[in-house]
Amino acid sequence: MEQQLEDLVLLKKTLEIYDQKQIAEYLNDLGQDNWNREMINRWLKGKSQPKLSYAEYEHLKLLLPLPPESNDYDFTFIDLFAGIGGIRKGFEAVGGKCLFTSEWNKYAVRTYKANHYCHPEEHSFNKDIREVTLSDQSDASDTEAYSNINKKIPEHDVLLAGFPCQPFSLAGVSKKNSLGRKHGFECDTQGTLFFDVARIIKAKQPSAFLLENVKNLKSHDKGKTFRIIIETLEDLGYWVADVHEVGADDPKVIDAQKFVPQHRERIVLVGFRRDLNVHEGFTLRDVSLPESVPEFKDILQPAREVDKKYILSEKLWVYLYNYAIKHQMKGNGFGYTLMRKKNKVARTLSARYHKDGSEILIDRGWSDNKGFDDEANMRKRPRRLTPRECSRLMGFDALGESNFKIPVSDTQAYKQFGNSVAVPVFKSLAKLMKPQIIQAIQIQKNHTKSA
């Protein structure tokens, strides 16, 4: 009876990541071929009590990420708007330990749980951060909100967040100004997800934070969005790195092509608690770059490994080709990018890649001169990247590796990688921040001892 309970617990954990059909097919890989979706469904509903053999139990365990070899860590962090864990992966690589994760997309959660070990007692998972900050409850008081945050989110050293870019409304601010009432970030940022980040920072006062967003955050809503974010962070008692830097040389804007073969610009806001005074001399200009960067061709799988389903249909290829010509004649640029052997860096992989793959197409020997009437040429239509190649392009997998688990459909995988961050960038950022983080932890320990 005890073993059957353990079997069911394991099954339910794997079903947080994979569906019943995937689990049945995986168990049948052992050669018994006696599992199917209906059997697993009946088991979950208590209508049957099948038993896993020892081999099946151990095989099923392999679907879950392994715990770290050692529980030793240098600092702790929380992972907000986590996606599939790209920022987490970078900070774990330099000795960080994740205590709390928040991500609302159910497919991203599956990929996250497939790849990142979440300790059942030392880590908690939240789907909607608004349920923690109570920003989804209009009648919740500030006192109730901060009490709930302190209850749900553990103490941590670093807050990580890749929050969405949203405009701020100043309607509430104008009204309070007219009434002569005091206002701050609680009013300025209300209704945005940055508001939730700010509330958590105010409640937990981490030593440091790293916030990631699209490059256009700086100019969004004529610069108002960025200005309010910076003012809020400074009002909360934080120093923000390179805050006054502007222009093309702004170190807050980092292009991933310095690390991976993809042009991908993101803005990064790094801050430290001003009262800890650990920020002196810190600048994002000191981010360490790799000695060499792989070329685009290095992330590709051998042609024999690529399923034919990734080759564009004749209809789609004709459409994209003619669409590009039409817009080129109008001076609007190209409608697609065909990556040939000479091309070393790809365009930005976007969340819309699943639609047609037009921003990054792999050349298979297509000849413009031969065109569409040549049957042999048509068989050389370009293809999309595979999800595995996307994983390598984003740095989740190293070159030649296939360790990052992709439990979702191709469509969802393309969306997830397109919405994610280039992992090597954030590993380098974590490495840069670590000395200040460790110093801040030590200062607080000394304050506690002397108190």
Q: Give the domains, in start order, of the chain with CATH numbers.
A: 2-61 (1.10.260), 75-288+424-450 (3.40.50.150), 296-419 (3.90.120.30)
Question: Does pLDDT of 219 surpass 90?
Answer: no
Q: Which of 122-126, 178-182, 199-203 shows the lowest per-residue confidence on average (mean pLDDT)?
A: 178-182
Contact, 86 vs 167, CB < 8 A?
A: no
pLDDT value at residue 244: 93
Q: Confidence band (pLDDT; 50, 70, 90) for 85?
A: very high
Tokens 């700010």 appear where? 198
pLDDT value at residue 167: 55
* Average pLDDT value for residue range 226-239: 95
Q: Which of 185-194, 251-260, 431-440 shows the lowest per-residue confidence on average (mean pLDDT)?
A: 185-194
Closest CA to 35 of 1, 3, 43: 43
pLDDT value at residue 1: 63
pLDDT value at residue 87: 98
Question: Does pLDDT of 183 surpass 50?
Answer: no
pLDDT value at residue 170: 40
Question: Does pLDDT of 181 surpass 90?
Answer: no
Question: Does pLDDT of 419 surpass 70?
Answer: yes
Cα→Cα distances 48→28, 32, 221, Å: 19, 19, 58
Active site residues: 165
Q: Which of 160-174, 179-193, 339-353, 389-403 shows the lowest per-residue confidence on average (mean pLDDT)?
A: 179-193
Contact, 259 vs 425, CB < 8 A?
A: yes
Which residues fall within 8 angstroms of residue 445, CB to CB, at 6 or more apart? none
pLDDT value at residue 451: 61
Question: Does pLDDT of 293 surpass 50?
Answer: yes
Q: Which of 94-103, 161-170, 231-240, 410-419 shows the lowest per-residue confidence on average (mean pLDDT)?
A: 161-170
Alpha-carbon span 163 to 269, nearest angstrom: 11
Question: Does pLDDT of 222 surpass 90?
Answer: no
pLDDT value at residue 331: 67
Angle value at C-alpha 26, between 20 and 27, nearest 5 degrees: 90
Question: Does pLDDT of 184 surpass 80?
Answer: no
* Average pLDDT value for residue range 208-215: 94
Q: What is the dihedral of CA 238, 240, 244, 247, to 10 degrees?
A: -150
pLDDT value at residue 173: 36
Question: Does pLDDT of 332 surpass 80?
Answer: no
